[in-house]
Structure 1
């Protein structure tokens, strides 16, 4: 039977553990198309989350509990779960169950029906606050423009992928990076479904402003060179303005001699000097970016499929004559 690994990162989710395990048991007890492997990754919780997970009655699925020594973040937890996953398909869920468990079956059906390696669950609605919606929209717009052109407009929290994708992720375990964008950038055959995100029923969201800012920075540093190009662009603009200003003050000095001595020349030197400095920093940063990109050891290409031609033996016609 096909096995689906469901990775659930948890961090100070003591209030939700009982409800989470109850829902997992109820849902996967009736699922007959595949068996479920649940991988809980305790991301350094300071409450009794780990103790509750160990004592919980896990009946309808096989399970693993991975405990971190400290809080490393949800993306690190997902990567650890992927590394230990044994399923034919792998997906993510979250302890607050804002993403309904029915998504697991819907994603599985889409994977089987379309024969793809990656299926995304795109949100068509959400109960999030306006500030969160604004951040998500701005983040998606920036990523589409400067990093990943096929980044979805509505964002995503859930994805299911095959062992082929798992092998690529296990080979390139990136730190300070977005695992979702890494999966998106691999290519492979992809499909998508839509769903409605639910309101959180218990506990407090761990998706704080500082984590959102870190994700934004990590995404740009890991997948875009736009910030580096911005430095170079600003340098070029200031350099050109400095040259124009220098020409202007020389013209005024020669033709009219009506400019005060001191500040026009100083401003000219500052603009040209600042421009040259920024252009130089941009060039250095380009080399550093390429060094960083090489140090990640991301694959230059990803092979999706190999078809080998089997050569059929050619019989010598003289042998056929001898046989006759």
Structure 2
């Protein structure tokens, strides 16, 4: 059996020596399966690519897929899946927060149970308070409005079979979460739990803007809740408007004690236009993604592939302009 491990990297020059050292140490001892590592260089502007090429990769075959520019971590994972040749595929990350022993544990689960997907759910995390808060809020919203079986504490790691890879390659989605796509496929699944470690070197590239984009992409791609929200808001304000109109008419006919004025009118206009703009913004998100999908633009562009198939004693092959 062969396991393909996809590792997206973006400006991780400080982590590369430690990453390769840990990979060598782990796979020197792991004999149950052969290993293919796919490093996906997501448009790094530092020495990440050079350090990957110059490192001594001793106990696994590897490929370095270099993007023409930064496309994002989910695009990097999809590129790795497309180029992976293993019987099973999993993800790891250059910050070393997830122990490599997860690969063996997940592999044992899928082999022992004859299933297609094994998740590694976070039992605890060394992330900062704001990151934990975002993660819990995101998980809660996804469980309620999009994917009912979304784990409460989130996940970053999964191992899956070639059957799942085939489905993902046939449905290569832009502006979407590859994890939720896998979660929603419906194949037989199991899970393990683990404690996430702290980042050893460098700073996280998971910025606030990327988190917000993931939240929007997840809802637009996997949930109709935003559209339903627009309908509910419109219905509620329609009822409020009918009730308020009836009150004005009754009081005018019976008491004639309501003075007309611009403050009330201005408030109504501000609230009304605000809700209208929010609703149009939500609809525009769907329309933009429909337009983006209709263009059929690539989710990523691989500029160069560096690969070494067996050992570091053999020459490295560099392929240019790979589609």
TM range (shorter): 0.7 to 0.9
Question: Is 2:174–2:293's contact at 8 Å kept on the other side of the alignment?
Answer: no
1:143 to 2:146 alignment: no
SS at match of 2:15: helix
1:52 shift after superposition: 0.7
Partner Cα distance (2:217, 2:282) in 1:
21
How many residue pairs get aligned? The number is: 296
In structure 2, distance between residues paired with 1:275 and 1:244: 21
Alpha-carbon spacing, 1:139–1:116, altered in 2? closer, same or farther (3 Å)? same
* Counterpart Cα distance in 1 of 2:41 and 2:128: 27
Q: Look up the match of 2:33.
A: 34
Is the Cα–Cα contact under 8 Å of residues 242 and 269 in structure 1 kept in the other structure? no
In the superposition, the TM-score normalised over structure 2's length comes to: 0.83
The match for 2:13 is 14
Q: Which residue of 1 aligns with 2:121?
A: 122
**Structure 2: distance between partners of 1:277 and 1:294:** 26
- Equivalent in the alignment of 1:250: 249
CA distance in 2, matches of 1:200, 1:96: 6
Residues 132-182 of structure 1 show CA distances to partners (whole Å, capped at 9, x for unaligned) of 111111110000011111100010000000000000100111111110000
Q: Is the 8 A contact 2:88 2:159 kept in 1?
A: yes
Matches within 5 A, 1:44-55: 44-55=43-54
Residues 73-84 of structure 1: matches in 2 within 5 Å?
73-84=72-83
> 2:62 maps to what in 1?
63
Looking at structure 2, the residues matched to 286 and 26 of structure 1 have their Cα atoms a distance apart, in angstroms, of: 46
Tell me by how many angstroms 1:291 deviates. Answer: 6.3
Q: Name structure 2 gaps, 5 residues minimum.
A: 297-323
> Per-residue displacement from partner, 1:41-81 (whole Å, max 9, x unpaired)?
00011101001111111110110000011111100000000
Alignment CA distance shift 1:276-1:102 (3 Å): closer
Secondary structure at the counterpart of residue 72 of structure 1: coil
Q: 1:131 maps to what in 2?
A: 130
Q: How far 1:230 moved relative to its partner?
A: 1.3
What SS does structure 1 have at the residue aligned with 2:141?
helix
- Rounded to whole Å, the distance in 1 between the matches of 2:32 and 2:50 is 31
Distance in 2 between the 1:285 and 1:50 partners? 38
1:267 positional shift: 7.8
The answer on whether the counterparts of 1:229 and 1:282 sit within 8 Å (CA) in structure 2 is no
Quickly say closer, same or farther: Cα 1:245–1:51, change in 2 above 3 A: same
Between 1 and 2, higher relative CO (CA 8 Å, sep ≥ 6) is seen in 2
Root mean square deviation, CA, Å: 3.0
Alignment of structure 1 residues 216-235 onto 2, 5 Å:
216-235=215-234
Instruction: Describe the SS at the equivalent of 2:27.
Output: helix
Give the match's secondary structure for 1:219: helix
Q: Secondary structure at the match of 2:37?
A: strand
Q: 1:286, CA displacement in angstroms?
A: 12
Match of 1:314 in 2: none
Distance 1:108 1:206 in 2: 28
Q: Distance in 1 between matches of 2:110 and 2:44?
A: 34
User: 2:89 and 2:223 mapped to 1: Cα distance?
Assistant: 27
Unaligned stretches of 5+ residues in structure 1: 298-324
Between the aligned partners of 1:286 and 1:54, the Cα distance in structure 2 is 40
The CA deviation at 1:261 is 3.9
Partner Cα distance (1:277, 1:234) in 2: 10
Q: What are the Cα deviations for residues 173-206 of structure 1, in whole angstroms up to 9, with x where unaligned?
A: 1111110000001110000001111111111111
**TM-score normalized with structure 1 length:** 0.83
Instruction: Tell which deviates more after alignment, 124-133 or 73-82.
Output: 124-133
Match of 1:308 in 2: none
